[in-house]
Amino acid sequence: MENLNLIANKSTDRIAEIFYGRTIFISGATGFVGKALLEKLLRITQVKRIYVLIRNKKGKSANDRLQNLFTNVLFETVLSVKPSCTKKCTAINGDVNEVDLGISPAYRQTLINEVNFIFHCAASTRFDDSMRTAFVLNVRGTKYMLDLAEQCKHLMLFVHISTAYAFHLEAKTLEKEYKSAINPHDILKDLNCLDGSFGKKDVSELSGDLIYLRRLLQKVPNSYTFSKSLAETLVYEKVGKIPIIICRPAIVIPSYEDPFPGWFNNLQGPMGLFVAAGKGVMRSIYMDCKTSANLCPIDSTVGSIMMFSWHYLTTKNSPYIFNLCVPQTDIRVTWEEILEAGKDVIKTKVPFNGILWYPGGTMTKNRLYDQFNFVCFQLIPALLIDFLLFLLGYKPLLYKVQMRIRKGGDMFEYFTTKNWSFETTNLETVREKLTDHERKSYMVKVEKIDMKKYLTQCMLACRRNYLKETDDTLPAAKRNMKIMFCLDRIVKIGFFVFLAYYMFKIFKFLL
Ligand SMILES: NC(=O)c1ccc[n+]([C@@H]2O[C@H](COP(=O)([O-])OP(=O)(O)OC[C@H]3O[C@@H](n4cnc5c(N)ncnc54)[C@H](OP(=O)(O)O)[C@@H]3O)[C@@H](O)[C@H]2O)c1
């Protein structure tokens, strides 16, 4: 029997219907969100063509990269039910960093003539990119995408993927326009004002605006959220001129169900923390574990983006800004609950191969305690092991790994130490207009999530698809985990016996 969730039935799926026979243009389709969106469009709709903006990378052409995309496990389902769907996709060689997206004039004309929907997902998503790098891609790149959209003769909708974290101006981020801290056009006039050397310039060399910008740049939490806020500002300017919606996802996590549970694309998000913790190399993280985690599974993210597109096109006076995370009324889960459940899964159900130590450690909002744990349980052991590797003639590597993990944790801190709250009225209102079938097909209501079951699926998918650890190695990994547990306890008991012995000796000496 055909799984209703896998292929939409045109007559019962009003969302799929808006894409019927349409031409789509997607940027960022090799990334987490873009890839899942491409897959869902191919699987569940009857689009005419999908143009995908891809840059040449690591010696691979845009077309090679597109073909390679379809080898991702995510596409297995759609390829099994629609084997020729990839023929609908055309790679367009381009680069969002370049003027006018670096697209050839011929392809640009094709897009102008044919495109009905634009999904702009490409972005610099590294929180530690330089301000210039983030600005060029996220802000100037968005400007070029909007310029193209304005020229498209048959554009029905431009979907801008922003982030729920772009603005933190009030306790709860509402689904409305916010004023960015600076006018992006002021920076677009001269990108040099973002360079590192600018920050060091003497105040006397700067005009009033630039002094303000320098002070501002010193205060912004990271280049990512700052540049995304400026990009949104550019999008607001086009509202009313072209059909536009802005989708602001919170933290996107692996798929809940569709097309299979646990799929994710890279280790940048929470899965990176789980892998580092599961391998035993990460033992401390600075976070407020009591704060709520604002998460959205990727299948729900993509389904919601498609649902918002449908709503905007079919409803008079539809809102055009949508915050996107699982509403707190559906699921309320703290970071502590997630990490504790994850630790349990990693230790007992789905351990990884080749772990360095028994997974454990602390989450704390005490900076000093976190630093202490990091130095004692991550840094010093890493240096010792590296020294041993060096003596044995191998290349030391753990110090580097630890520094990368630390940097990743530091970058995540902005999102996990504040009590973020997002209005989700539009998501809740729009999904109520769907039929049960549509709600299920687009995964826009994820209720009663069994965190342990979900994380078990995520870790299994992570082992298989990301770490390339086959399931037949699970029993050995479980045995190894038990050995590591014993070793961990022996070392800990040994350490305390040693400590007690010397305390006793000192005490005796003092008496
Ligand atoms: N993932 C999340 O948790 C999350 C949360 C909130 C909002 N968002 C937003 O969702 C959107 C997609 O995020 P993501 O997680 O999918 O990011 P991602 O996995 O890092 O993917 C980024 C995409 O942008 C493309 N890209 C980067 N530089 C490019 C360039 N110069 N020219 C053309 N393409 C370029 C990348 O292509 P290459 O393969 O060529 O590098 C990749 O396809 C972003 O706007 C992000 O801000 C994501």
**Residue 309 domain flag:** yes
Q: What is the CA radius of gyration of the chain?
A: 25
Beta strands in 307-393 (DSSP E): 321-324, 362-364
> 284, 361 in Cβ contact below 8 A?
yes
More confident position, 511 or 62: 62
> What is the per-residue pLDDT for 460?
96
Does residue 437 share a domain with residue 466? no
Count CA atoms closer than 13 A to 172's CA, side-chain side: 8
Q: What is the DSSP letter of 265?
A: S
- The confidence score (pLDDT) of residue 2 equals 35
Q: Which helix (H) or strand (E) holds 120?
A: strand 117-120
The answer to whether residue 200 sits within a structural domain is no
Same domain, residue pair 430 and 344: no
Q: Does pLDDT of 208 surpass 80?
A: no
Percent of the chain with pLDDT over 70: 95
- Ligand 1 atom nearest residue 161's Cα: 45
Does residue 439 sit in the same domain as residue 463?
no
Residue nearest to atom 8 of ligand 1 (CA): 163
Return the pLDDT at 332. 86
Cα–Cα distance, 294 to 402 (Å, whole number) = 27
User: What proportion of the chain, given as a percentage, has pLDDT over 90?
Assistant: 72
Look at 101 and 216; give whichever has higher pLDDT.
101
166: CA distance to ligand 1 center in Å? 15
327 and 389 share one domain: no
Q: For 264-278, how does the pLDDT look when each residue is reduced to its tens digit (9 = 90+)?
A: 998 878 888 899 999
- Which pLDDT score is estimated for 3? 38
Q: What's the gap in Å between 313 CA and the centre of ligand 1? A: 25
What number does the ligand 1 atom closest to the CA of 101 have? 32
Q: Which atom of ligand 1 lies at the shortest distance from residue 228's CA?
A: 47
CA distance 165 to 62: 31
468 and 385 share a domain? yes
Ligand 1 near 66 CB (within 6 A): no
Segment 113-117 shows an average pLDDT of 98
49 and 113 inside one domain: yes
The 8 Å CB, 24+ separation contacts for 104-108 are 107/51, 108/148
Distance, CA 508 to ligand 1 centroid (Å)? 63
DSSP 140: I
Do residues 231 and 363 share a domain?
no
In a domain, 193, yes or no: no
pLDDT tier, 4 (very low <50, low <70, confident <90, very high otherwise): very low
Collapsed DSSP state (helix, strand, coil) of residue 24: strand
CA of 33, closest atom in ligand 1: 16
Q: Please tell me if the CB atom of residue 28 comes closer than 6 angstroms to any atom of ligand 1.
A: yes
Beta-ladder partners of 91: 52
Q: Could you say which DSSP state residue 293 is in?
A: P
Contact 165, 225 (CB under 8 A): yes
**End residue of a domain, out of 406, 431, 449:** 449
Query: What number does the ligand 1 atom closest to the CA of 34 have?
Result: 16
User: Which has the closest alpha carbon to 75: 229, 265, 235, 204?
Assistant: 265
Task: Tell me the pLDDT tens digit for each residue of 155-202.
Answer: 999 999 999 999 988 889 999 999 998 899 989 988 878 876 666 666
Tell me what the mean pLDDT of segment 378-398 comes to: 93
- CA 28–ligand 1 middle distance (angstroms): 5
Over range 135-155, report the average pLDDT: 98
Domain assignment present for residue 133? The answer is yes
Question: Which atom in ligand 1 lies closest to the alpha carbon of residue 96?
Answer: 32
| Ligand 1 lined by 161 (C-beta under 6 Å) | yes
CA distance 225 to 414: 10
CATH number at residue 316: 3.40.50.720
Query: What pLDDT was estimated at residue 176?
Result: 97
At residue 285, φ and ψ (nearest 5 deg) are: -140, 135
pLDDT digits (tens, 9 = 90+) for 435-454: 999 999 999 988 778 899 99
Beta-carbon contacts of residue 287 (< 8 Å; ≥ 6 apart):
335, 363, 364, 365, 412, 413, 416, 417
Ligand 1 within 6 A of 323 CB?
Answer: no
Higher pLDDT, residue 321 or 4: 321
Task: Decide: 34 in ligand 1 pocket, CB within 6 A.
Answer: yes
Tokens 């905007």 label which residue?
A: 312
Nearest CA to ligand 1 atom 38: 30
- CB of 32 within 6 A of ligand 1: the answer is yes
Dist CA 123 CA 141 (whole Å): 8
| Residue 125 and residue 87 share a domain | yes
- φ/ψ region of 288 (left if φ > 0, alpha if ψ in -120 to 50, else beta) reads beta
Whether 104 maps to a domain, the answer reads yes
Domains contained in the chain, number: 2
Q: Is 324 in the pocket of ligand 1 (CB under 6 A)?
A: no
Across residues 227-246, what is the average pLDDT? 97
Residue in 65, 95, 125 to alter for ligand 1 test, most ligand atoms within 8 A of Cβ: 125
| pLDDT confidence of residue 169 | 85
Question: How far apart are the CA of 265 and the centre of ligand 1, in A?
Answer: 11
Least confident of 68-82, 457-471, 494-508: 494-508
Higher-scoring residue by pLDDT: 6, 502: 502
Mutation test of ligand 1: which of 25, 30, 33, 142 has the most ligand atoms closer than 8 Å to its C-beta? 33
CA of 196 to the centre of ligand 1 (A): 24
Q: Is the pLDDT of residue 139 over 80?
A: yes
Average pLDDT score over the chain? 91
Both 323 and 342 in one domain: the answer is: no
More confident residue, 363 or 83: 83
With a 6 Å cutoff on the Cβ, whether 249 touches ligand 1 is yes
Tell me: do 410 and 426 sit in the same domain. no
Ligand 1 midpoint to CA 379 (Å) = 31
Residue 318 is assigned to a structural domain of this protein: yes
123 lines ligand 1 (CB under 6 A): yes
Distance CA 423, CA 324 (A): 9
Closest ligand 1 atom, CA of 138? 45
Residues 441 and 340 in one domain: no
Predicted confidence band of residue 77 (pLDDT cuts 50, 70, 90): very high
> 274 in a domain, yes or no?
no
Query: Does residue 241 lie in a domain region?
Result: yes
pLDDT of residue 198: 60
377 and 262 both lie in a single domain? no
> 253-274: string of b/e by CB count within 10 Å (b at 16+)?
bbbbbbbebbbbbebbbbbbbb
**CB-ligand 1 contact for 359 (6 Å cutoff):** no
Domain boundaries, position 466: 336-418+459-510
pLDDT at 5 over 50: no
Quick: pLDDT tens for 307-365: 999 999 999 999 999 999 999 888 888 988 998 999 999 999 999 999 989 998 888 98
Q: Between 189 and 11, where is the model more confident?
A: 189
Q: Is the CB of 35 under 6 A from ligand 1?
A: no
Query: Residues 6 or more apart from 50 whose CB is under 8 A from it?
Result: 23, 24, 25, 26, 38, 41, 42, 88, 89, 90
Rounded CA-CA distance 509/255 in Å is 62
Confidence (pLDDT) at 218: 78
